[in-house]
Amino acid sequence: MKRKLLLAAALLCAMSFGLSAETETTEKDGVAYSNEDAAFAASGRFSAGAEFKIARGLKVSVAEELRLRYKEGALSQGLDRLYTSVGLSYKPIEYLRIGLGYDFINVWKMKNIYADEEKTIVSEVDKYNQMRHRVSFDLTGIYKYQAWQFSLRERIQMTHMVDPYLDTFEEARNALALKSRFKVSYSARTIPLKPYFSAELRNTLNSVDIESSSFERVTKKSGDRLVMLSPDYADAYVDRIRLELGTEWLRDSHNTLDFYLLYDYGFEKKVKVSAEKRYLKSVTGCPSNTIALGIAYTFGM
């Protein structure tokens, strides 16, 4: 019970956007419960894609997107990730759209390889690619009023990560998430622009829950330690809030350019477990702020 209260206090502090001047840490049973100051990241996103109508109300789409990133304090900067996407959407009635999607994501990563168990001496830096396979299903409700369009999209997605350094005692290899997005757009009659605004919540559905995971308490000279026997992927919480403002430029009936600015507030509960003895080392609340500018081109038939 005490461990649960300590964790709750640490995570509530983390939700304050990291405004405190220093990190607050509480230790219990050799486990450090803390929150980090909010990290800042800037991103650029560039994509090109095509949509093809194959039947009434039925469309198939393909797209490629490159993301660049600068993140404060991150080991890797510049190239971030590359998305290859294929989607299928069906609109049975005017007010409803159904979508299926697959994304292949290549993430450029760097990781410190340490020469000592305390992780104080870096022997080398490994540059590698983390591959992700993502499938998604979504339902979108649509309502139009004159030149305005309102939509609400619910999307469930599963992301399988292929990463040699991923520890399943710290995070799930198959990450589940639920995204809820509200969007409003305006179609101007006199100019070929379609400005829009959207807000989205993302919920992680299967993070490691230290309250329901299985532990064994062992007594060491330095004090009691908690050994994780098996993780329970039962924790669910809002891990991202996204606000997006942009406009589509309808060049002609086939070509569209989309210019947008988005802001992400992210929050992650990071669980750290020692690789060999499986001691629970720390639980950290990690908030982040990201600003991104993007340009997307779409060819439609």
Task: Give the CA distances from residue 238 to residues 31, 126, 206, 207, 288, in Å, rounded to whole numbers and listed in that order.
Answer: 24, 31, 12, 11, 13
Question: How far, in Å, CA of 1 to CA of 233, rounded?
Answer: 20
Mean pLDDT of 127-132: 94
Residue of 299, 301, 296 lying closest to 257 (CA atoms): 296
- Predicted local confidence at residue 189, as pLDDT: 83
Mean pLDDT of 96-100: 98
Task: Kindly report the pTM of this predicted structure.
Answer: 0.86
Tokens representing residue 208 in the block: 């490691």
Q: Which pLDDT tens digit goes with each residue over 59-75?
A: 999 999 999 999 876 66
Mean pLDDT of 260-288: 93
Tokens representing residue 69 in the block: 């990133």
Tokens representing residue 15 in the block: 């939700």
- Predicted local confidence at residue 193, as pLDDT: 95
- Predicted local confidence at residue 15, as pLDDT: 41
- Predicted local confidence at residue 112, as pLDDT: 75
Question: Which residues lie closer than 8 Å to 191 by C-beta, 6 or more apart?
Answer: none
Q: Which pLDDT tens digit goes with each residue over 146-201?
A: 999 999 999 999 999 999 999 999 999 999 999 999 999 999 888 999 999 999 99
Q: Cβ atoms within 10 A of the Cβ of 34, count?
A: 19
What average pLDDT is seen over the chain?
88
- Predicted local confidence at residue 80, as pLDDT: 92
Residue of 293, 301, 298 lying closest to 63 (CA atoms): 298
Q: How confident is the model at residue 76 (pLDDT cuts 50, 70, 90)?
A: low
Is the separation of the CB atoms in 36 and 286 below 8 Å? yes
- Predicted local confidence at residue 115, as pLDDT: 61
Amino acid of residue 35: N
Tokens representing residue 71 in the block: 């993140």
Q: In 3-state terms, what secondary structure has residue 11?
A: helix
Q: Cβ atoms within 10 A of the Cβ of 31, count?
A: 21
CA angle 93, 178, 100 (to 5 degrees): 45
- Is the per-residue pLDDT at 13 higher than 90? no
Q: Domain locations in the chain? A: 2-41+92-97+117-300
Q: How confident is the model at residue 275 (pLDDT cuts 50, 70, 90)?
A: confident
- Predicted local confidence at residue 92, as pLDDT: 96
